[in-house]
Structure 1
Amino acid sequence: MLPLRDRLPARRPPYVNWLIIIVNICVFVWTQALISVAGPRGTEARAYELLMEHGLVPARLVHEPIAALPTLFSSMFMHDPSGWAHLGGNMLYLWIFGDNVEDAMGSRRYAFFYVLCGMAAAFAQVVVNPSSVVPMVGASGAISGVLAAYGSLYPRSPITVLNPILPLWLFFGIFFELPAWVIILEYFVLNLFSGIGSIGGTGGGVAFFAHLGGFVAGALLVRLFMRGKPAREHDRWDRFRPPAPKPKSPYGSPYGAPPPPRRPQGRDPWGW
């Protein structure tokens, strides 16, 4: 199921989330420019050279940790240069879920949270396959942590998805809503089984354990980063139905609405 949007408007502009998306796109365009300069015959060689230089290579991190340390960060902003699918899918998830996690945590906390989840994702993949010489790139690990945080904070928030079963178009239409926990649990389970199935493989592909590592880190860190922050009331999924309009703030914009009043002390945000 492909998520398309949520129904939870941010109360303030998610500047950090926007910046992360812009940086990812700019880095991708930069890599495309460098590859195009190499000409048709040198395209693959130049792409591989860039991935090896800026991607995270587990074996290099294990044997040369100081020299390879910058790639823990740079690999979060590199994507498969062969097409837009890798970048596009990651940025779609970040656009849907990242703004609300930033809104809940605050911009500074969200920035640290995002980077920590990305680093945890990288370390998870290194631990599972420390001898791999395949460069790992992509924002998926950090975004997995964002998904875990969103699922912890807003598990019943309605998410509009593309209906993957053609006969059900007659009943639910092309698009319908599901609670966030269903989408996010599906993501985790698919990566878990795919990761288990990939154990022992020697080739490249999707870094499933990076996704799992980022997800677990996000699930554990969200409470720490939400300490002292009030929980937020939100629309809750209650039944299958066509997507409802996304509500606006009382000020006519999805941004700028005042935060809700603080709840009584001693109540857990996860007790809603």
Structure 2
Amino acid sequence: MLPIRDHNPSEQTPWVTYALIAVNVAIFLSYWGLFSNPRAITLFFLDWGMVPVLVTEQGTWGTMLTSMFLHGSIMHLLGNMLFLWIFGDNLEEEMGHIRYLLFYLASGLGAGLAHYYAAPLSEVPTVGASGAIAGVMGGYLLLFPKAQVDILIFIVFIIKVIPVPAWLMLALWFAMQIFGGFGADPMTGGVAYWAHAGGFVVGAILTLPIFLRRGGARFWERTDGHPPHPEAEYSYQRTHIPRVRRRRK
């Protein structure tokens, strides 16, 4: 299950979301060459990624911030930026640019703390923007639970695009992080499930004051749980490329 777009792109330009994507891509490209040298990339992540045991023993709290802008592979980067692009613009429009940036950073720091407290003696470097983006998803769920999100479904060789309400997709994603967190050992690396879950909860909590100022449940009634502007109309166009049929002998 992979989200590819929502049906309510923002009416204002999401400058902060675009800037965050650009910064993450630029930083990744700046150390791209280190991936050809396993020792060099490991040392780089030990210096700039968040290593819980170093936070515990040396107080390297600043790496909770720097680790938010690092990624372990091109697919790691692309996946995170896709989620940020889909869910970030509406939240930025609702919060305002500066408040949204502070919200994003606070969600990422909250995610880092959640991962740290789950395994304070882990020696594995943690990198990625997914904790902060999980906060964006938590805020999106609170404000726009019925927004339509198109997701790709992969079933063996069948690929389908289907629209689902945001609450279904995001609630399922959050449940997967909780179950993954209980089923995985944070000391051995892999997916930082508790960072994802922690960022999601922090994002929802930080969005709660805005939700209440908008009227709480009355905000949902006014917007029917969607972003407060018309949905975009998507349609699939027929290709103009001619089909070549095989001749029968």
Is 1:63 the counterpart of 2:57? The answer is yes
1:204 is aligned to 189
Is 1:223 the counterpart of 2:211? The answer is no
The equivalences for 1:63-212 within 5 A come to: 63-65=57-59, 68-80=60-72, 83-165=73-155, 174-199=160-185, 202-212=187-197
1:260 is aligned to none
| Contact kept? 1:8, 1:234, Cα under 8 Å | no
| Distance in 1 separating the partners of 2:211 and 2:41 | 40
- Residue in structure 1 matching 2:39, options 30, 37, 45: 45
Shift in CA distance, 110/244, structure 1 to aligned 2, threshold 3 Å: closer
1:213 is aligned to 198
Shift in CA distance, 138/24, structure 1 to aligned 2, threshold 3 Å: same
| Distance in 1 separating the partners of 2:75 and 2:224 | 31
C-alpha displacement of 1:224: 2.5
The equivalences for 1:225-244 within 5 A come to: 225=210, 228=213, 231=219, 233=223
| Distance in 1 separating the partners of 2:211 and 2:55 | 32
1:269 is aligned to none
| Contact kept? 1:78, 1:138, Cα under 8 Å | yes
Q: Match for 1:184: what amino acid?
A: L
Q: Match for 1:182: what amino acid?
A: L
For residues 13-32 of structure 1, give each alpha carbon's deviation from its aligned partner in whole angstroms, at most 9, with x where no partner exists.
11111111001000110110
Is 1:2 the counterpart of 2:8? The answer is no
| Contact kept? 1:104, 1:226, Cα under 8 Å | no
Q: Match for 1:96: what amino acid?
A: I
| Distance in 2 separating the partners of 1:135 and 1:235 | 38
C-alpha displacement of 1:245: 2.2
| Contact kept? 2:48, 2:67, Cα under 8 Å | yes
SS in 1 for 2:223: coil
Q: Match for 1:188: what amino acid?
A: F
Shift in CA distance, 129/166, structure 1 to aligned 2, threshold 3 Å: closer
C-alpha displacement of 1:174: 2.1
SS in 2 for 1:202: helix
| Distance in 2 separating the partners of 1:116 and 1:226 | 18
How many residues are paired up?
226
Consecutive unaligned residues in structure 1, runs of 5 or more:
237-242, 248-272
SS in 2 for 1:132: coil
| Contact kept? 1:105, 1:226, Cα under 8 Å | no
- Residue in structure 1 matching 2:233, options 245, 250, 258: 245
C-alpha displacement of 1:164: 2.4
| Distance in 1 separating the partners of 2:162 and 2:211 | 30
Shift in CA distance, 14/229, structure 1 to aligned 2, threshold 3 Å: farther
Q: Match for 1:73: what amino acid?
A: L
| Contact kept? 2:134, 2:199, Cα under 8 Å | yes
C-alpha displacement of 1:202: 3.3
For residues 179-218 of structure 1, give each alpha carbon's deviation from its aligned partner in whole angstroms, at most 9, with x where no partner exists.
001110111011110100014x531111110001101101
Among the aligned pairs, what percent are the same residue?
A: 37
Shift in CA distance, 235/9, structure 1 to aligned 2, threshold 3 Å: farther
Q: Match for 2:43: what amino acid?
A: E
SS in 1 for 2:120: coil
SS in 1 for 2:127: coil
Q: Match for 1:69: what amino acid?
A: W
| Contact kept? 1:105, 1:229, Cα under 8 Å | no
| Distance in 2 separating the partners of 1:26 and 1:157 | 31
TM-score of the two chains, using structure 2 as the length reference: 0.84
